[in-house]
């Protein structure tokens, strides 16, 4: 059962990890609040930490509300745009082809007979194309940074774009491949730094800046625009 912490009208989900050594509050892209904590921290200590940072949380929630734009789900009709590596490609419904979904001649082509599974096919297509793209780019960054991931996997990570798991496996949300290449690269390098610094300590951000001097601009772009790319 998940631990929940309530401070005034704010509700935080508590997520503990044996790898974590510091406390951190996360405001995810949907406005959900998370307290990331080491295993041994008591609820009383978590409450004190959350209370001390609640005005920062209110500020972040206000920023996200200001940046939130109306979105709608996809209808999967011909002419509708779908993102891939920061570019929008129009959809064309077709009667016949050798697979349910493909990107060819500048268009996504989806079988009409598979229309009711359109979202499922897009997620699978994105995941299948994200893996080799990420492996290639990460392979270019690893020697520069002196790190090595044991494996790279793509899946639905919920509110997270990426995650550094046990045994130095890097996980990425399938939706990362919808973002512009420079932003996907930021997500990848961010997770590579976690191979050295598991938590968002000052040393983590210094290492990230050394590897990617303009990371702050990319990070800000992702915070402001990333949610626009996940609509399916």
Q: Which two tokens stand for residue 222?
A: 């992702």
Q: How confident is the model at residue 225 (pLDDT cuts 50, 70, 90)?
A: confident
Residues 54, 134 within the same domain:
no
- Condensed to tens digits (0 to 9), the pLDDT of residues 131-148 reads 999 999 999 999 999 999
Question: Are 137 and 222 members of one domain?
Answer: yes
Candidates 16, 21, 48, 51; CA nearest to 35 is 16
* In a domain? residue 136: yes
Tokens (6 digits) for 145: 């940074």
* 94 to 80, 103, 110: CA distances (angstroms): 14, 12, 6
**Are 126 and 34 in the same domain?**
no
Domain assignment of residue 76, yes or no: no
Q: With pLDDT > 90 as the criterion, what percentage of the chain qualifies? A: 59
185: CATH: 3.30.2010.10
Task: Give the count of beta carbons closer than 10 Å to the beta carbon of residue 192.
Answer: 26
189 occurs within a structural domain: yes
Question: CA dihedral in degrees (193, 52, 224, 219; nearest 10)?
Answer: -20
Domain final residue, candidates 37, 52, 67: 67
Mean pLDDT, range 150-176, rounded to an integer: 91
Does residue 132 lie within any of the structural domains? yes
Domains of the chain: total: 2
Q: What is the mean pLDDT of the chain?
A: 90
127 lies in a domain?
A: yes
Looking at the domain assignment, is residue 99 inside a domain? no
Pick the more confident residue, 200 or 95.
95
Closest to 199 in 3D by CA, of 4, 8, 38, 11: 38
**What residues contact 165, with CB distance under 8 A and at least 6 apart?**
171
CA distances 36 to 10, 143, 199, 213, Å, are 15, 30, 10, 27
pLDDT bin (cut points 50, 70, 90) of residue 29 is: low
Q: Is 208 within the bounds of a domain?
A: yes
> Which range marks the domain in which residue 23 is found?
3-67
């Amino acid at each position: 059962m998940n631990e929940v912490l309530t401070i005034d009208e704010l509700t935080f989900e508590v997520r503990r990890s044996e790898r974590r050594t510091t406390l951190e509050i996360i405001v995810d892209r949907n406005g959900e609040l998370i307290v990331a904590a080491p295993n041994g921290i008591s609820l009383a200590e978590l409450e004190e930490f959350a209370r001390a940072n609640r005005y920062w949380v209110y500020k972040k929630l206000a920023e996200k509300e200001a940046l939130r734009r109306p979105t709608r789900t996809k209808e999967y009709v011909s002419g509708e745009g779908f993102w891939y590596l920061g570019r929008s490609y129009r959809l064309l419904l077709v009667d016949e082809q050798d697979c349910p979904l493909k990107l060819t001649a500048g268009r996504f082509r989806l079988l009409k007979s598979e229309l009711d599974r359109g979202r499922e096919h897009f997620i699978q297509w994105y995941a299948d194309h994200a893996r080799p793209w990420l492996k290639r780019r990460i392979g270019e960054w690893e020697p520069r940074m002196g790190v090595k991931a044991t494996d790279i996997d793509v899946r639905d990570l919920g509110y997270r774009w990426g995650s550094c798991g046990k045994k130095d496996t890097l996980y990425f949300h399938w939706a990362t491949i919808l973002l512009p290449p420079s932003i996907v690269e930021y997500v990848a390098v961010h997770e590579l730094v976690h191979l050295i610094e598991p938590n968002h300590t000052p040393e983590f951000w210094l290492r990230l800046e050394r590897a990617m001097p303009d990371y702050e601009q990319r990070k800000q772009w992702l915070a402001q625009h990333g949610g626009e790319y996940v609509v399916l």
